Structure formats: C-alpha cells, structure tokens
Amino acid sequence: MAVSLLLTVTSVLNAQTTATNFTAQDCSSTNRTLFTELNNGKIVVLVWVMPCGSCINGAKAAYNAAQSFATSHPGKVLYYMADDLGDATCSDLSTWITSNSIGNVSNMTLFSNAGNVIKESDFGGTGMPHVVVIGGTDHKIYYNKKNSATNDLSGITTAINSAIAGTTGIAEVVNEISFGVSPNPAQSTITITSTNAIKKVVVMSMSGQVMKEETYANGKINPTISLSALATGVYSIKVTDITNKSAVEKIVKE
C-alpha cells in the first residue's frame, strides 16, 4: 500500500512539472502531437474550459499573453484550447469564444477533446479554467494554475518568456565560434562580425528574457541589429551561424 501511494504521489508531482504527451485531432481535423510541437521549438499555452462563465477571464488572459508574442516571435507561441471532458463540440467552443470576446478564433487551435485524450489529470488535476505553459525539448511546464488564479496576464506572460529563454538555451551554450560585436558599449545599433554567415541573433536580458530576435533563413554576413528599443543595461547576445554553431557574449546598451 505504501509503495503504491508513493508511486501515485510521484506521478502527480512529475505531471505538474513535466508535460505528458498526447496526440489529438483539432477542430480543423489536423492531428497535433504535443511533444512534436515542443521538440520543434514551439511554446504551447494549453487552456481547458467547460466552457463556462468562470472560464472567461483566465482563457482571455492566456490568449492575450500568447498574442503579445505574435510580432516578436511569430509562430512560436501556440494557443491550444480544449474542452475539459470532451463533451462540447467545436462549434460550441467557437461560439463561446466569440460571444465572450475571448479572442480571435483564427489565432487558436481548438480541440473538442473527443475521448478526453488531452487529460487534465496528467497536468496536476482539474479546475475551470486550467492554464499551463509548456516549452522545451525537456517538455517543462512553466506555468500551471486553475480557477480564478488563471486571470493572470502578467504571470502567464512571464512564464512564456521563461519558456522562450529555455528553448533559446543561452545559459547552456558552450561557445563553439567566435564573433565580434561593435561598437560595445553601443547606443543604437551593433554589427556582428563572424567568419561564417549568421543565421540567428538573440538578445536577452540578464534574467533570461528574450528582448530581440533576428533570423536570416539564408544566412547574412555582418548583420546590423537595432538596440534602440532596449533600455540602458547589460544584455547577453547569442549568435548562431549557418553551420548551426553558437556562442554567447555580453553587450552593454548605453
């Protein structure tokens, strides 16, 4: 009995900090596998609703948090909404979203959750609404709240930022290349110089928040990055070249 109880408690704790995979058909008849999205660098904001009146504020806060990254990180943050028990149709969900001004349905991935394959019980229990933020190849849960506690735009936004920082992996980078940054300190722009063309540049605060990200699909020689929108301070900059080798340096914005 004691062993069984310990296994149960351990399972619940793990479920609250690490996501459980699922494959479910969305309301566009597309099969979505959670771990595939995460392994491809996506951040998933997953919201369960009944739908119900008490679900509105949390669902809306989660949507607004996810959408706040649409310009800075296009296509990276996905908003999933699922019926909690799989007994509401896609039409029910869409009508509820629209009538309560939750957000734009075209920016969401909806699941009627038929068969209850997206199980709340795998993510620390039930509550309406229930919001989780998941990211990284380690499938880490950065946010997990239920009921009125989900009316938390700031907390959800912070969790998404942390998840993006986790997938960017600046803290874990071992410098594989060398690159130059000039000027440093800088007031408005910097130029990155490297032997190979640059594929990606990420500027992050010292707390790990992604402040700016530039991607060059075909690589770019000596790209120039604007820092004009950043406050004065010290930042980390991660540079990835076309050979997928990376390095990190500190820069100072004056």
pLDDT tens digits for range 111-139: 999 999 999 999 988 999 999 999 988 89
Q: Are residues 159 and 189 in the same domain?
A: no
- The total domain count for the chain is 2
Asked if 116 and 230 sit in the same domain, the reply is no
Q: Are residues 41 and 157 in the same domain?
A: yes
Q: Are residues 37 and 157 in the same domain?
A: yes
* pTM of structure: 0.67
User: 67 and 179 share a domain?
Assistant: no
In the predicted structure, residue 168 carries a pLDDT above the cut 70:
no
Q: Looking at the structure, do residues 62 and 112 belong to the same domain, yes or no? A: yes
- Mark whether 49 and 120 lie in a shared domain: yes
Q: What pLDDT does 121 receive?
A: 93
The DSSP annotation for 132-187 comes to: EEEETTTTEEEEEEEGGGG--HHHHHHHHHHHHHHHHTGGGPPP-S-EEEESSSBS
| Residues 75, 189 share a domain | no
Tell me which residue range forms the domain holding 237. 172-253
Same domain for 68 and 142, yes or no, is: yes
